[in-house]
Chains A and B, each alone.
Chain A
């Protein structure tokens, strides 16, 4: 089985936020929830870089480890999914997540965050709903992955900065790019998420 990963080539990201919009539209996520976002490092300074970030679907996902009700788990493709039926909205996954991926529909005073929502790699949900069903879409969003497609954010990326797919394949693509153009600011988040870097 292929291990699915995300990779953002920051030297190609132009901060257009099309990935963010694609995600919101494809999964029809409510207001205030941003499964994907673009963060600009050194904004306005020399060497400014933008990075598109969502759930990285970590190896040994810390969110899954700290969840008090164990509702987060990795699939055999390495995609980290969760069950909103079991989630109690405690907010621990947000404290553990190195990438700020978990989102909550409410502000969270007195622990009233509501059910956690995050990037599902466009692979539906981790609950009891049938894959690709309307009930699943309502709760978790699109199941493109089940139909053999990759996450829409990466598919839509105009500069092909955001890559999704088999980790080995996208790492190879990135390596070739860096070798060809002669530079690369690295695979952002890979060391923290997958405990490995792409050495060129």
Chain B
């Protein structure tokens, strides 16, 4: 049995015990659309028609004291304007749209990977564009932001990579899942550019399992939640998903077991994450997890490990740079939180039939080799 399969089995055994799910107050709301497969009674509710994300909404009991909205933008992967204006224009669009939200969002969470290669001018360009957004902005880092100068510029611009605040009855936590990668550069005597290039290659094999929360930060989370009613809503923002989806692309945090241990007492935890550039939904123990779209480009689903609760997004048209990408608006009304994907390229975010899904053609893929052959 491969290591990946062994880990998957362990995750199911540890986290998906019978009867353990997020808060049972989950309800279908008006924003839910009913999928064709349900209307026709089709029982082929396998991965392609998995039933949770037929609802694009989440209910959280005992939630907001007052209704409010917040906005999510992430994975803009900005190059300097001289290299690529396409990505710039999409961030400008996202900023304009967030600022124009009506009713306005209370805050914008930027979920990491503002820059593509972590350069100062890329990060500063991101700040400049997002200055269009006048509401409160909070930031967590992505790996693309960090590994050129080990976060020096990012910290100068945005301060700490993890934080918490309470807003209208909800405890929000920004987690840093990117800065504790194992040191692969010192022994190989890499330059900052080389270190960053390996980190910026999603399917590279040199940077290894860099995504993690870390014991120190988990202790901080535990302390942060110590005074919080265990049934009240907690929303955790992270760049990487807080469970194991596909480790070769760091679609996980390597210490997901410890994360689960810390969050286990809390019955109403919602994790909202970036990095995957795709629609995702999963439930792990008492935590539900939602993957967000990038503004830059969409990624196909990994060849294995897509959560069965995910209703896949459409297969994007590579000729349309606004397809398969976008942002999210999250509303908290009375006792529920609703996520609305704003995908710029089309109205239907989710697949309507199997051929619309990248999962309709199973692939068996090999990891790359060339980055292991040198020059290191």
Chains A and B belong together in one complex: no
